[in-house]
Every structure is written in structure tokens, then in C-alpha cells.
Amino acid sequence: MRESYLFLSISFLYLPSLSSIQMMIVIMAAQATSKNKADVIAWAEDAGFDTHFSEGEETTIIGVIGDGRPVVKEQIGRMPGVERIVPILKPFKIASREFKQKNTHFNIGGHEIGGKGLVLMAGPCSVESRSQIIETAHAVKEAGAHILRGGAYKPRSSPYSFQGLGEEGLKYLAEAREETGLPIITEVMEPALVPLVCEYADILQIGARNMQNYALLHAVGKSQHPVLLKRGMSSLIEEWLMSAEYILSHGNTRVMLSERGIRTFETYTRNTFDINAIAVAKHLSHLPIIADPSHATGKWEYVAAAAKASIAAGADGLIIEVHPNPAEALSDGMQSLKPERFAKLVTDMRRVALAVDRDITK
């Protein structure tokens, strides 16, 4: 069941200093009536605040964003139907464990993201042709993947590198989904492309270079499409979670974080896989975390070790690059696994998952 919450977003008629702005959550009692909830909202409107809300399916949580004056806590806390008020001190509010203690989980194409079972996303870095993506889709599904990845639009360091097939690539991905039943995840690079990519993709990917593209974050948040948010190559964990907050602030709760390695002084691997970040993010946030060992290492020889380590660290899934002929790949061939290597890795990862009370199911 997709979770939703009742958000009460309050903007004061004056602008308080940023240091005084905080958020608290009003947890309504199980027996709270519709009138009780309406009264809380009415109080805010009578006080001159703007409100925006959506009714929850289970526990009703009202997030209150304001300057934290004592009168706010005292007046709301005494209102009928209010169970308790919890202040949120972290700069990332809705993404924090303070806001939501239980892990977020949701369903995509019959697969639960954030549950006990690990979700595997696999496919090529770029969609290069119809035959390439369909062949890969069948191979990764046979090996145990649940979601097909593939880039139709590719941000590249060089303007002369392959930039993707665009909408043609999206059509090939959709055809691969029709043949295999695998949901698809693909990257969206700019706000104007969000509606088009949403027509084809089941999950929108925000790449590392766009983690702090705030216009894009707003656009994917408004789309209400599931989102995979990759950590920027030089970004702090807090900055990563603050970027997720942009998406969540639009009521889009189907957000996944992705650790894909960060830039350090080491040059032997493409990036340095920050496995610490998986454990830290799981402690700070309720959002699912998908590890990306392909970009983290940049070399196929090390992908398996990083993948298995990420499962032990608490990742809820993995996104892995697989290509039928990595030597001829138009992008990221060095870090792509051949289908047979991916199949073996799935078997090995399943053993690690079982050891930490998780599983990988077909």
C-alpha cells in the first residue's frame, strides 16, 4: 500500500531568520475525528498561515513548518485528537527518521522497494540500439533482475561523447518492458523533459551531476513519479538528504537514495565507494537506499565485492550495469558486467542477503 500523509505546510506572513525556522510533526490519535483534523488546519488558517494537505490512509501526521514559537506547540498540543508533538531539528525534515520511524516502502511493478527483499536494477549505461536493450533485458531478467535500467539521455563530461538516443531510446526501453515485464528506470536531465520521460519510465533517475539541480528536483517532485536520487560526486550526506527533501516537499513519497561513490584523491578506481554512507543514511532517514557498485568502482572486476559489501551495510537494492558486449559499449564499458557474470553475482549476492536476514527473490 502506498503511504501518504497529511502535511500542514505553514508559511508566516513575515520572514523569520533561517536559524529560527523549524518543523514539528503533530501526530493525531488513532481515534481522532475528521473534525479534530479540520480544527488543527482551521487553527493555522485563523492564525494567518497558508496550508496544504493530503489525507493519510493510516496514521495522520501533520507536519508544521514555522518559527517554533511556544504558543504554536501549546495551542496545538491541547487540541482534541492530538496525540503528541515531535520537534524535528534536522535541516532535512520529511526525509528524517524523526518525521517517520518506520522504513518507507512502496511497490513498483509488483516488486516492493524498501522491504525485506532486495531489488535488483540492471542493464546498460546507455540504450544503443533496439537489439542491444532487448537482448540485455531478457538476459538480466533471466538472471534475477527486477527492474531494467538504461539511459536514453546521457550527461557526459565531453560534448563529443555519445549523448544517448533520446525519445527513440525511450521507445526501445518501453518495448523491452513489453517483452519482459520488467519496469524501467532511466535518467531525466532537465525539467522540460520530465513529462516526456514520465510517459515511458516507471522510475525517474536523477544523476549525480544533477543532485542539486533544484528546478529538476521540483519538477520530478511534482510529477509524483517514483524517483531514484543519486548522491553527487562531492556531496555531503546532509546535502544529499536535503535534495531528497525538495522532492518530498511536493508530497512525492516514493523516493530512493542511491550511493554511487564519491570523488577522493584515489585514482585507481573511478570513485571511492562510501559504504559508510549507506549505514549513516539508513540511520538518519527512512528512505530506501540503492547501491551503485558499477559507478562506485568504475571497473567490472571490483563490482561484485562492492555489491556484496553494500548488502551487508544495509542497502535495500542495487543498480548494476550489464552489457552484452562491454568492449563495444558506447559508454561505461569498463564497469559493465557481461550477462553471465551478472548471473553469477546474483547467486553470490543471494547468499550474503540471507546471512543478514534479507533475500533476493525472482
Q: What is the pLDDT of residues 323-337, one digit of tens each?
A: 999 999 998 899 999
Beta strands in 72-208 (DSSP E): 82-88, 106-108, 111-113, 119-123, 147-149, 184-187, 203-206
94-99-102 Cα angle (round to 5): 110
Q: How confident is the model at residue 51 (pLDDT cuts 50, 70, 90)?
A: low
Q: Which of 25-34, 147-156, 301-310 has the lowest mean pLDDT?
A: 25-34
Which range has the top average pLDDT, 9-13, 67-71, 258-262?
258-262
Query: What would the pLDDT profile of 108-142 be if each residue is shown by its tens digit?
Result: 999 999 999 999 999 999 999 999 999 999 999 99
CATH 3.20.20.70 residue window(s) in the chain: 106-355
Higher per-residue pLDDT: 342 or 85:
342
CATH architecture of 106-355: Alpha-Beta Barrel (3.20)
Beta strand pairing call for 22-28 and 61-66: antiparallel
Share of the chain above pLDDT 70, in %: 86
Contact 224, 251 (CB under 8 A): yes
Residue 158 clears pLDDT 80, i.e. is over it: no
- Asked whether the predicted pLDDT for residue 52 surpasses 60, the reply is no
Angstrom distance (rounded) from CA 149 to CA 147:
7
Predicted local distance difference test score (pLDDT) of residue 47: 65
Class of domain 7-88: alpha beta
Q: Which pairs from 38-47 meet CB under 8 Å and 24+ separation?
A: 39/79, 39/80, 39/81, 40/8, 40/76, 40/79, 40/81, 40/82, 41/8, 43/75, 43/76, 43/79, 44/8, 44/10
Q: Do residues 196 and 220 lie in contact, with contact meaning Cβ atoms separated by under 8 Å? A: no
